[in-house]
């Protein structure tokens, strides 16, 4: 039988199992070391657990005892406050005070004495004997006087800071002020025995396991109860009693010593861990070889998939059935401008959603979770720097190897270049249309100026003739009510002449000629068009507010053109407030002088719906209008007219809601000085 071993080629792949042999032996060694560590750690851990359990039980019991002591003291405080109120109101007679005070002492042995000490420090009544007024002066130390004074100022009961008295005895005083209306009658001074507090208020079962002490603010012992002997200092806890005005701490020291570990725990641990170790050695010996081979194949597949996904320019995003992002590729992160670690694991709303389309996103997301998927959706994402990216999204179900849907996979295309080309085409078409409409507008302006000047001139002549007739009839003494006819004809003639002047100004405006400038007061401009403005405000129920300083200098401007600007701005402001409540319809016209620039600024402010950002960008563009019937020339003509005078027309948001339009004109005084 002839056999041979073929030589291994240079490009052959070495089986992963050959390199895995050292690892097969290393794992059992690690398990043995882990077993020894557990044998050392387990007794210590068990001891720590028992010790923590005892300490937690001590803390809970100490808290309960503290609450019990505070409850009992609170009952005494309430009884003292009631007695002080009776003394202050006169319900407690002086001869019966001793009996009432003695009754308080019978409610608990911890209360030693109760006294009524007046404002001068004299004892008016005491529980240990009747005292005649002004007979005895109470001996109060500095701390007691401070506590009584504090209780008087606070108008409530206050404890004095107690100190050890020697021979294992200490007292705690409580002072309750006595008031009759606003008259201070002194204090009720109650003396508590610290040792009696522990004897009477601490349960016997707690005292059998712990040494209980009361400490002052310097941790000196005021009282101590050692029914089961001194504590070992292993399990201790301090709890401050909530005594107003004094610092008293309840300290418990358990008489229990360190816990001991039972030996059967070690035996059980050795048996369980030994069986587990043997089973793991056999199972791991078989499993590791298969696992390493599978991991090698999976690693190759993952590297291939990662390289393929990183080379894509299409963004990929995977989500689970709850909408949580589970995967994104680098192309998607580049599109939205967020790193993968900020996106993976996050649920909607997503940071790259556009604020104005939150409702649309939420509706589409709810449809995806319900299974109603739109195969292709066009929307906008927003990067952290505010850049808006138009994208095209394709969604498809994500199915696992068992055919069960686990989520959704989306492909995202950046269509910014396509949108940019479409926008350029749209702008070119808009420019062509604008050029054609501008030419038509020029022809219409010229035609209107030529055709309307003649009838307006005739109207002016007729009204002038009527005025002459009125003058002749008046001179001959004929019966003619000139007081009625004359104002109407004067108004008609003035309006006809003004209309002709407006047409001529428009004609000059189209021909780009310089307007006729003269010194004009801002108030006179408003007076000329005041009737028209007030007519619009009455019809729309708008309140008009005019703020023109009396010392405001005149402006150098063409009267008719500036009046036309004011009419246009006020009309737009009134129309902007058509859909707001009548009480908010306020039209404000104000003028100020900027001494630094020599310009007079005129503001027209409304409280309407305001101007959106996308509309504000094109607000002064020719033929752009938000009105269905508008031609879009109003604001553009206004701005051009103001710029002819060397001023500017701007707008900004009104803090109270709405918009403020401001145009500036040179002051006549400044213009004359410059000349």
Position 282 in a domain: no
Position 642 in a domain: yes
Contact criterion met (CB below 8 Å) for 602 and 590: yes
Token pair 């002449």 in the structure block, residue: 497
Position 25 in a domain: no
For residue 664, give the DSSP letter: E
CA 94 from chain centre, in angstroms, equals: 63
| pLDDT at res. 36 | 67
Give the C-alpha separation, 100 to 10, whole Å: 110
CA 455 from chain centre, in angstroms, equals: 65
**Which of 376, 392, 414 marks a domain boundary?**
414
Same domain, yes or no: 576 and 659: yes
Give the C-alpha separation, 134 to 71, whole Å: 36
Same domain, yes or no: 225 and 247: yes
Same domain, yes or no: 553 and 668: yes
Question: Domain of 441: which CATH number?
Answer: 1.10.287
Same domain, yes or no: 625 and 476: no
Same domain, yes or no: 480 and 456: yes
Contact criterion met (CB below 8 Å) for 25 and 301: no
Choose among 613, 608, 609, 661: nearest CA to 639.
661
First to last CA, the chain: 124
Position 306 in a domain: no
Position 28 in a domain: no
For 556, the domain range is: 517-674
Give the C-alpha separation, 153 to 641, whole Å: 76
Give the C-alpha separation, 76 to 102, whole Å: 13
Collapse the DSSP code of 467 into the 3-class scheme (helix H, G, I; strand E, B; otherwise coil) and give the result: helix
Position 279 in a domain: no
Structure tokens at 195: 């040792």
| pLDDT at res. 446 | 45
Position 568 in a domain: yes
Same domain, yes or no: 522 and 666: yes
Give the C-alpha separation, 223 to 199, whole Å: 10
For residue 7, give the DSSP letter: P
**What's the number of domains the chain is made of?**
4
Contact criterion met (CB below 8 Å) for 668 and 554: yes
Give the C-alpha separation, 539 to 585, whole Å: 12
Render pLDDT for 295-347 as a digit per residue (tens, 0 to 9). 877 887 877 777 766 666 788 888 888 888 888 888 888 888 888 888 888 88
Q: At what angle do helices 16-89 and 97-106 cross, to 10 degrees?
A: 160
Same domain, yes or no: 113 and 207: yes
Render pLDDT for 408-461 as a digit per residue (tens, 0 to 9). 888 888 888 887 887 786 666 445 434 434 443 454 454 445 445 545 655 665
Q: Following DSSP, what letter does each residue of 79-93 receive, concatenated?
A: HHHHHHHHHHHT-S-
Same domain, yes or no: 490 and 363: no
Same domain, yes or no: 545 and 448: no
| pLDDT at res. 230 | 85
Contact criterion met (CB below 8 Å) for 171 and 191: yes
Same domain, yes or no: 138 and 177: yes
**Which of 501, 532, 558 marks a domain boundary?**
501
b/e code 99-108 from CB counts within 10 Å (16+ = b): ebbeebbeeb
Structure tokens at 526: 């408003």
10-residue mean pLDDT profile of the chain (675 residues): values are 37 43 65 70 73 86 88 88 86 77 83 86 78 58 82 88 68 89 88 85 85 86 84 85 87 79 57 70 75 79 72 79 85 86 85 81 77 76 85 82 81 82 66 43 46 54 64 68 61 66 51 66 85 76 91 88 83 86 90 90 90 72 48 64 85 87 86 51
Bridge-partner residues for 123, per DSSP?
A: 117
pTM beyond 0.75: the answer is: no
Q: Following DSSP, what letter does each residue of 269-335 receive, concatenated?
A: HHHHHHHHHHHHHHHHHHHHHHHHHHHHHHHHHHHHHHHHHHT-SSEEEEEETTS-EEEE-HHHHHH
| pLDDT at res. 503 | 61
Question: Domain of 319: which CATH number?
Answer: 3.30.450.20
For residue 224, give the DSSP letter: E
> Secondary structure of 512-568 in the HEC alphabet?
CCCCCCEEECHHHHHHHCHHHHHHHHHHHCCEEEEECCCCCCCEEECHHHHHHHHHH
| pLDDT at res. 141 | 74
Bridge-partner residues for 397, per DSSP?
A: 408
- The mean pLDDT value of the chain amounts to 76
Nearest 10 degrees: Cα torsion 221, 223, 229, 230: -10
Same domain, yes or no: 606 and 644: yes
**Which of 389, 414, 439 marks a domain boundary?**
414
Structure tokens at 133: 């007024």
Question: Domain of 563: which CATH number?
Answer: 3.30.565.10
Structure tokens at 245: 């005005």
Position 241 in a domain: yes
Q: Which helix (H) or strand (E) holds 210?
A: strand 210-215
Q: Following DSSP, what letter does each residue of 101-125 receive, concatenated?
A: HHHHHHT-TTEEEEEEE-TTSBEEE
| pLDDT at res. 449 | 52
Same domain, yes or no: 530 and 654: yes
Structure tokens at 312: 């894509």
């Amino acid at each position: 039988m002839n056999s041979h071993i073929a030589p291994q080629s240079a490009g052959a792949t070495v089986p992963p199992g050959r390199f895995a042999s050292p690892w097969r032996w290393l794992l059992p060694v690690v398990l043995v070391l882990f077993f020894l560590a557990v044998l050392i750690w387990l007794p210590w851990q068990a001891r720590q657990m028992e010790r923590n359990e005892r300490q937690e039980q001590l803390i809970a019991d100490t808290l309960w005892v503290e609450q019990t002591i505070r409850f009992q003291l609170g009952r005494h405080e309430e009884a003292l406050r009631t007695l002080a109120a009776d003394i202050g109101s006169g319900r407690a007679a002086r001869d019966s005070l001793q009996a009432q005070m003695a009754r308080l002492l019978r409610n608990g042995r911890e209360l030693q004495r109760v006294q009524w000490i007046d404002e001068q420090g004299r004892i008016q009544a005491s529980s240990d004997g009747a005292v005649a007024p002004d007979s005895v002066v109470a001996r109060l130390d500095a701390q007691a006087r401070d506590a009584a004074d504090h209780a008087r100022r606070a108008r409530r009961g206050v404890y004095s800071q107690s100190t050890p008295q020697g021979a294992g005895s200490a007292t705690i005083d409580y002072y309750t002020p006595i008031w009759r209306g606003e008259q201070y009658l002194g204090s009720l001074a109650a003396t508590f025995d610290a040792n009696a507090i522990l004897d009477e208020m601490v349960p016997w079962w707690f005292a059998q396991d712990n040494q209980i002490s009361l400490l002052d603010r310097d941790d000196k012992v005021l009282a101590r109860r050692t029914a089961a002997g001194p504590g070992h200092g292993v399990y201790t806890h301090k709890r401050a009693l909530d005594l107003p005005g004094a610092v008293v701490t309840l300290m418990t020291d358990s008489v229990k010593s360190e816990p001991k570990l039972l030996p059967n725990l070690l035996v059980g641990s050795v048996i369980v861990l030994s069986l587990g170790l043997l089973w793991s050695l056999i199972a791991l010996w078989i499993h590791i070889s298969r696992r390493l081979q599978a991991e090698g194949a999976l690693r190759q597949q993952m590297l291939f998939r990662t390289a393929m996904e990183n080379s894509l320019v299409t963004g990929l995003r995977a989500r689970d059935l709850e909408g949580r992002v589970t995967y994104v590729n680098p192309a998607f992160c580049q599109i939205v401008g967020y790193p993968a670690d900020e996106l993976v694991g996050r649920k909607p709303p997503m940071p790259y959603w556009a604020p104005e389309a939150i409702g649309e996103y939420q509706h589409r997301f709810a449809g995806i979770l319900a299974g109603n998927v739109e195969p292709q959706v066009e929307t906008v994402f927003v990067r952290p720097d505010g850049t808006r990216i138009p994208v095209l999204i394709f969604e498809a179900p994500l199915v696992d190897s068992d055919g069960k849907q686990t989520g959704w996979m989306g492909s995202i295309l950046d269509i910014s270049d396509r949108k940019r080309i479409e926008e350029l085409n749209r702008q070119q078409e808009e420019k062509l249309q604008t050029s054609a409409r501008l030419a038509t507008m020029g022809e219409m302006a010229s035609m209107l100026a030529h055709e309307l000047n003649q009838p307006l001139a005739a109207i002016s002549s007729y009204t002038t003739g009527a005025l002459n007739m009125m003058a002749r009839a008046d001179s001959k003494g004929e019966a003619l009510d000139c007081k009625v006819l004359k104002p109407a004809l004067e108004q008609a003639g003035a309006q006809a002449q003004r209309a002709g002047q407006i047409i001529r100004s428009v004609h000059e405006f189209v021909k780009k000629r310089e307007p006729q400038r003269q010194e004009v007061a801002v108030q006179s401009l408003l007076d000329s068009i005041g009737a028209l403005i007030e007519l619009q405000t009455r019809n729309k129920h708008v309140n008009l507010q005019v703020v023109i300083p009396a010392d405001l200098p005149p402006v150098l401007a063409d009267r008719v053109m500036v009046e036309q600007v004011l009419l246009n701005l006020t009309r737009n402001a009134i129309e902007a407030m058509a859909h707001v409540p009548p009480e908010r319809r306020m039209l404000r016209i104000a003028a100020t002088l900027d001494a630094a620039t020599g310009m007079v600024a005129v503001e027209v402010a409304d409280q309407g719906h305001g101007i959106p950002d996308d509309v504000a960008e094109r607000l002064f563009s020719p033929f752009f209008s938000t009105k269905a019937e508008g031609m879009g020339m109003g604001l553009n003509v206004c701005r051009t007219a103001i710029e002819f005078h060397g001023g500017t027309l701007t707008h900004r948001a009104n803090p109270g809601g709405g918009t403020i339009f401001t145009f500036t004109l040179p002051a006549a005084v400044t213009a004359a000085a410059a000349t």
